[in-house]
Each structure stands twice: as structure tokens, then as C-alpha cells.
Amino acid sequence: MKTKDRGCAAQRQKTATLKDKRLNRRQFILFLLIPYTLFLAPSCNTEAAFETKDVKVNMTIKNISSGFVECEFSTNKDAYYLIAIQDPWENFNPTTNQKQFMQLALDSAYAEYLIWRNDLLRKKEFNVAPFSSHSLQYGNTTRIFTGLMPDRDYWVYAFPVDPETMTPAGKLVLENVKTLFASTVEIRFEYRVRGMWDYVYPVDTLGRINSRYPYTFLTVDSAEIASSIAEYGTPVHFFTEWAIDLFQYPELADIFYGVKATENDGIKSTSKFEEGHVYYTGINGLDGLFKHLAVYKFTWHEDCVYYFHDTDSTNLFLKD
């Protein structure tokens, strides 16, 4: 009995020790779990996550033309970054003065943001978008920088930003690009009118829609430009002046990409088609002067259906 008792006692002691060990293990697991639950367990954070350490911005120049440059930007981590294009500064090397250059670019963007924000606050707007949302990029971005002059040097650059401290958070990526003397993009504008609606189709040499080519267009009633037509005998003069204006003041242009359908009812668009009136539509690529200008003429009727190709353009003398 004694032996058995002793045996039982030993067993109890062993069990107790094991229990203690298990308890210790449990305590240990709990010890690990508590900070995990507090700090590491996934919670629903709805703010865009961003990093500021070891962030690299990649920039790929996809297309350089005479009036625009298309760039692709991406980051190796989720991060905010600034992108810009500008004329090169004389006697300044941005690669050897990176920090100064980046801070200047950031300050300049922030100064613009403050003016914008100040305007909203004056209007008693309580909720104003933050700088990161207004002026910085996040995620992959494709940007077509328009309004550039042909045959000119530009700096295209990007760098990561810490939106909380308003400081650069990584290295500058900068490329010196030179716009072409003349556009080499092979594109033509086809134009369709169906009743109150018209459509612009920027088409490549294979007949596919090019949705990356910036253009603008304008439809005018011939009566509105009668004096110009009377003076020069052609509406083309009006449209060439329009194209020159856009070339000189590109910021004035409404820029479109891909197919553009418009209802010309004078309500949702500024143009309004009227029965029996003669119209001219000018379509101009924002890629240098006159390169892709097409002007189409038509007489509008309620049930009219037209489809114009570039060979129908009235400005044949301006064609390539």
C-alpha cells in the first residue's frame, strides 16, 4: 500500500509538475499572444498604408513626342511620391544636389496646396483633402505630360515622400528628355455624326483606337465664322488660328483620350446642332503644331448620319 501510495504520490507530483510545465507553457503562449493581439493582430485600418524606408520609385519613359511625354511610375513598396516635369535649371545639377532639389520641389508643391487649402478654408469648408491626396501619387501611375514645346529639353522626375513630415523619403529618379522636333505618331482622326450626337475616333495605322494620344476638338456653326471665311475664302484659317492658340496656351485645351462621344444639345455641351445649319469640326492632336489637324464640314439634319475619314478633311494642304 505504501509503495502504491508512494507511487501515487510520485505520480501526483509528476502530474503536478507536468501541469505546472503546461501552465508555464500556457503562460508563455499567453505572454506571446497578448502583445500579438494588441499590436500585431490584423485590424481594420482603412487608411492607405505607406512606407518611408527603403522606398524606390521606378520611372519608365514610354513615349516621347513633340508635344507630350508619357511616363509610367511605380514603387517597390506602398508609398507616396511626387512626380513632375519642368524646364531644366541652368548651372544646377539635380543629381549632385538631390536633397536640395527634392525639398525645393516638395516645398513648391506644398505652397500650391496651401493656397488651394486656404481658399477652401475661407469658404468655411471644414473637411479639406490632405496634401497627400491632393498633390502626391500612390500606387502605379501612368501620366501623360502635355503642353510641351517641340525640340526642347525637360526634366521628368519622381521621388518618395513622407506625407507626415513633408520630407523626401528616398532617392530622386530624374531623366532628361528632349521632345521631338516633329511628331512621329501615326494617327488619324475619324469623325461620326449621328443625329444630335457626334463621335471622335483617334485611330492608328491598323485601324485600332489609340487611347493614349491627347487631342482636343471644336465644333462651330459656319455662321459664327462667316467673317473669317469671307476674308480668307476658307474655314481653315479659323482652325489654324485655333490650333496656334492651343499650341501657345496648351493649358486652355480640354484634353481627351480615346473615343469621345458628345451630345450637342447646348445643355451638356457648349455646342448645339440646329436644323439646316452648316458646321465645321476641327480636331487637333496636342502634339506639335498642325500635325494631325483635321477639319470636317457637314450640314446638320435631325436624322443625318455621316462618317468622315481623314481623306474627307477640308484642310488637305495641312496634311503630312
- Non-local (6+) Cβ contacts of 227 within 8 A are none
If binding is defined by CB under 8 A, does position 252 make contact with another protein? no
Cα separation, 135 vs 93, whole angstroms:
25
Lookup: cell for 72 = 509610367
Cβ pair 131, 50 in contact under 8 A: no
Give the angle 264-265-270 at the CA atoms, nearest 5°.
65
User: What is the closest distance, in whole angstroms, from the C-beta atom of residue 238 to another protein in the complex?
Assistant: 23
User: What is the closest distance, in whole angstroms, from the C-beta atom of residue 43 to another protein in the complex?
Assistant: 7
Cα separation, 198 vs 208, whole angstroms:
19
User: What is the closest distance, in whole angstroms, from the C-beta atom of residue 315 to another protein in the complex?
Assistant: 23
Lookup: cell for 68 = 507630350
User: What is the closest distance, in whole angstroms, from the C-beta atom of residue 6 to another protein in the complex?
Assistant: 49
Cβ pair 173, 159 in contact under 8 A: yes
If binding is defined by CB under 8 A, does position 316 make contact with another protein? no
User: What is the closest distance, in whole angstroms, from the C-beta atom of residue 272 to another protein in the complex?
Assistant: 14
If binding is defined by CB under 8 A, does position 118 make contact with another protein? no
User: Binders of another protein among 175-234, rule CB under 8 A?
Assistant: 190, 192, 194, 197, 199, 201, 203, 209, 211
Report CA dihedral (35, 40, 46, 47) to the nearest 10 degrees. Answer: 100
Q: In this chain, which of 116, 152, 171, 180 binds another protein, going by CB under 8 A?
A: 116
Q: In this structure, which amino acid lies at residue 263?
A: E
If binding is defined by CB under 8 A, does position 64 make contact with another protein? no
Q: In this chain, which of 7, 35, 139, 266 binds another protein, going by CB under 8 A?
A: 139
If binding is defined by CB under 8 A, does position 271 make contact with another protein? no
Cβ pair 282, 217 in contact under 8 A: yes
If binding is defined by CB under 8 A, does position 311 make contact with another protein? no
Max distance between CA atoms of the chain, in angstroms, equals 130
Cα separation, 20 vs 26, whole angstroms:
9
Nearer to another protein, 290 or 298 (CB): 298
Q: Which stretch binds another protein (CB under 8 A): 97-105, 157-165, 228-236, 254-262?
A: 254-262
User: Binders of another protein among 11-50, rule CB under 8 A?
Assistant: 42-49
Helix (H, G, I), strand (E, B) or coil at 123: coil
If binding is defined by CB under 8 A, does position 265 make contact with another protein? no
Q: In this chain, which of 259, 301, 302, 316 binds another protein, going by CB under 8 A?
A: 259
CB count, 10 Å around CB of 16?
Answer: 11
If binding is defined by CB under 8 A, does position 263 make contact with another protein? yes
If binding is defined by CB under 8 A, does position 78 make contact with another protein? yes
Residue with cell 484642310: 315
Cα separation, 274 vs 306, whole angstroms:
16
Q: In this chain, which of 138, 166, 312, 319 binds another protein, going by CB under 8 A?
A: 138
Residues found near another protein in the complex (CB under 8 A) = 42-49, 78, 116, 120, 125-130, 133, 138-139, 141, 190, 192, 194, 197, 199, 201, 203, 209, 211, 258-259, 261-263, 268-269
